[in-house]
Amino acid sequence: MAIEGTTNRAEFVVTYESIIPNLTALKPYRPMIQEFWREGVFGDLDERYFRLVNRAGTLETLIDWGSLGDYSPLETFLALFRAENVDHGSYFDRMTHFDFKTLLPALLHVEDRVSMAHGLESRTPYLDHPLVEFAGTLPAVVKFRGGELKRTLKLATQDLLPRSIVARKDKMGFPVPLGRWAQGPLREFLRDTLAAGSHRPYLLPDADLTGLLAGDGAISRGLWGVLSLELWQQSFHDRAAHWSTLHRRMTEPTAVGIQTAVT
């Protein structure tokens, strides 16, 4: 799904003609596009796509990545993106494979499970395994011909749905109103949580966590990332002794268990 000097190569299923009519749909993604075009526009194609999906780019001024060890997000990404079982003839297939391995498990864990727990209607992918296996056999040029999203699904349901639904171009997400919450009921919680995490050793010396709440208080990727990391630290790292004790109690054989085994 890239343009690299020509649109006639078989692995590229998106053409200039398919992009231009859909440019208005990209308006909500302006911050992400600006980040993507910020640097490395003419660099390696895989590394450019990594920067597009990388959620840690806005944390460069906050996190000392070297303090977290030798883990490399880029190398981890490339290992999945360039896996031997992926069809390298289509960039679209490589993108889909990466989403299937990373974003889909997170989506099911967070959205599907939580929405069911609270009786909420949610929009998650079709996951009946024969359907998934069939979709995996379709070439990208069929699934995404002319840059049309959900092309195969639309063809399969065009006789069942109104034309206004099949042909609609104004699809949009329905995210949780975190920005509004940050301005209201969540603001003190955010401020207290970020202040509590200001001593973490993985932060840069001049990192200003509470400064992330300045301005309109919108939840940025950076703020959300730091908040999630700090809550994880409080739940697991700070309570490591508690969890170790609990694990030991659950795994050590009790006197009753020993007696039963001997008997």
Give the tens place of pLDDT for each residue, 104-160: 888 888 888 888 898 888 878 888 899 988 988 888 778 877 777 788 889 999 999
H/E segment holding residue 230: helix 221-232
Confidence bin at 256 (pLDDT 50/70/90): very low
Can you name the residues that pair with 203 across neighbouring β-strands? 63
Contact criterion met (CB below 8 Å) for 68 and 202: yes
Find where tokens 């929405």 sit. 115
Q: Is 10 exposed, middle or buried (0-12, 13-18, 19+ CB in 10 A)?
A: exposed
Structural domain spans, the chain = 16-166, 178-250
Q: pTM of the predicted model, to two decimals?
A: 0.68
Give the tens place of pLDDT for each residue, 31-58: 667 766 777 677 788 888 888 888 776 7
Q: What is the pLDDT of residue 246?
A: 87
165-194 b/e with 16+ CB inside 10 Å = b? eeeeeeeeeeeeebeeebeeebeeebeebb
Strands (E), 114-255: none
Confidence bin at 4 (pLDDT 50/70/90): very low
